[in-house]
Each structure stands twice: as structure tokens, then as C-alpha cells.
Amino acid sequence: MYLAADTASSSGGGIWGLVLPFVLMFAVFYFLLLRPQQRKTKTRNAMMNQLKKGDKIATIGGLHGTIVELNNDTVVLRVNDTVKLTFERSAISSVLTSAPAPSEKLEKSE
């Protein structure tokens, strides 16, 4: 009789002993993998939304150029004076130098 009572009480606490490690593993997984990836995606999307004509960029293939034309999904880059190449917008790796905003250009010329 005492043995049955001990088994029943230990199995009730045992469920928390089984669930707690999974909860801790998920928390570690979230803070080490998921959260940094979400932050990286958010900064990349912000960079993509701020692209404008005149920005000097680098593509994922290593090509450097200046943005001449922007569409929703494509970008036309001027590589030198005569060569213009069209890339997918997602192929942009980083912005090397940003072109001044139109209001900044007017202030400099005055």
C-alpha cells in the first residue's frame, strides 16, 4: 500500500521533470539561433527598402557598381561608363556608400 502511494506521487512530479528540459532547450534554441536570424533579416529588409539611385553597392557575387535604376524586383547597375547590368534586388549584398538624398544635393549647391 505504501509502495503504490509513493509511485503515484512521484509520477505527478515526474511530468515536470520530463517537460522542463524541453522547455529549457527551446529557450536556448530561440536565443542562440532564431532571435539573431530574425534581427539579421530585419536589418537586411531595412537596407533593401532604403536603396536609391546613386548608391554604390556590392552584389553577392562580388560585383561593385552604382545603382542607375530601381524596380520592385530588379536593379540596374552601372559598372563603368558603358556597361549596365541588371540584377535581382535580392542579389545585393551590401551598400558601400549611400547617395545623398535629393534635399542634401540642393543644400550643397546653394
> For residue 22, is it within any domain?
no
Overall domain count for the chain: 1
> For residue 35, is it within any domain?
no
End-to-end CA distance of the chain: 96
Residue range 41-65, pLDDT digits in tens: 999 999 999 999 999 999 999 999 9
Helical residues (DSSP H) of the chain, grouped into ranges: 2-29, 35-49, 102-109
What domain range is 91 assigned to? 51-97
Q: What is the CATH number of the domain that holds 76?
A: 2.30.30.100
Give the Cα separation of 87 and 109 in Å (integer). Answer: 32
> For residue 14, is it within any domain?
no
Specify the 3-state DSSP secondary structure of 70: strand
Average pLDDT over residues 9-37: 85
> For residue 33, is it within any domain?
no
Whole-prediction pTM value? 0.66
DSSP 87-100: EEGGGEEEEEEPPP
